[in-house]
Amino acid sequence: MKKIGIIGCGWLGSRIADSMSGQYKIYTTTTTKNKADELASKGFNTHVASFPDFQLEEKISKWTEIKDIDILIITIPLSGKSCCAGSLYNRIQHLFSFIGDFKGQMFVMSSTGVYPDIPGEYAEEDLSTDNVPGERMIKNRYPQVNILRLSGLMGDNRLLKNYTVSNAEAPVNHIHYEDICNVTEKMIEIGSEGKLYNVSAPEHPSKAQVINAQKNLPSAEEIIGEGKIILSSKLISELDFIFRYPDPRYFH
Helix H segments across 110-219? 133-141, 177-190, 207-214
Domain boundaries, the chain: 3-250
Task: With beta carbons less than 8 A apart as the criterion, state whether 29 and 48 touch.
Answer: yes
Between CA 110 and CA 230 the distance in angstroms is 14
What SS3 state is found at 229?
A: strand
Q: Which of 111, 189, 201, 177 is nearest to 150 (CA)?
A: 111
The tens-digit pLDDT sequence of the chain (252 residues) is 999 999 999 999 999 999 999 899 999 999 999 999 999 999 999 999 999 888 887 889 999 999 999 999 999 988 766 567 888 999 999 999 999 999 999 999 999 999 999 999 999 999 999 999 999 999 999 999 999 999 999 999 999 999 999 999 999 999 999 999 999 999 999 999 999 999 999 999 999 999 999 999 988 677 899 999 999 999 999 999 999 999 999 998
pTM of the model: 0.95
Written as one string, the DSSP assignment of 105-137 is: EEEEEEEGGGS-SSSEEE-GGGS-GGGSHHHHH
Domain over 3-250 is classified CATH 3.40.50.720 = yes
